[in-house]
Amino acid sequence: MAATDSLRAAVAGLSEKDKRQLSILGAVLALGLVFGLWLLSYALLSNLESERSATLDALRVIRTERARIRQRQQSRAQILSRYEQHAPALGGFIEQAARTAQVTVSETNDRPVQRVDAGRFERRSVSIRVRSVTLQALVAFMAQIDNAPFPVAITTLRLRKRFNESNNYDVDEMVITTFDRVVRAGERRAGADGGVAAPASRPTVVAIPSAGAAR
């Protein structure tokens, strides 16, 4: 109360000019306070609106991409399921595929097993030769290999057309490769590490001209 009375006495002792200046100062301070509160509220509302807009955009993207995300997950699951199936001996598999496509394999050579992708996969390869095969039969044979339920790829293909023989080719080298996922100690078999399938390189096709063209 004493402080209030002292303040009132001090104000009462001011001249009219000083009182007007004090009133103007008080009005400016009040307006500044109101403006500051409005600015703070505006900033908070803007942040909330930005977060709301970002959330709505994310939900919209998820809704739009849901089918694609599901398809991608299914595709990844299919790839991983293929790597859960250990590939059989490639010699027997190639013989069966050749029999189905009516192709005669003249030579088969196993290549050394290699660890790839930081030891997460074992790569087994077989090099074969095929003599006097039509293009249709060769494509059918390659389709049999590609449709296998386990990961397998034709990583090298070298063929040449037989001289003076229409639609007749010799396959000087075809390398067929499969990948076996290596399960380490303490690791679950089915995608425990979210493993990514080892990339099967595309076939390298080298066409060798026939003897007649070389002359």
The pLDDT tens digits of the residues spanning 160-193 come to 998 888 889 999 999 999 888 777 665 555 443 4
Count CA atoms within 13 Å of residue 164 on its CB side: 1
Residues 6+ apart with CB under 8 A from 95: 105
Q: What are phi and psi of 68, to 5 degrees?
A: -65, -40
Residue 96 has pLDDT above 80, yes or no: yes
Tell me the mean pLDDT in the region 5-15.
Answer: 65
Query: pTM for the whole thing?
Result: 0.52
Query: How far lies 172's CA from each of 61, 168, 212, in Å?
Result: 51, 13, 17
Q: Which residues of 146-155 are buried (b: 16+ CB within 10 A; e: fewer)?
A: eebebbbbbb
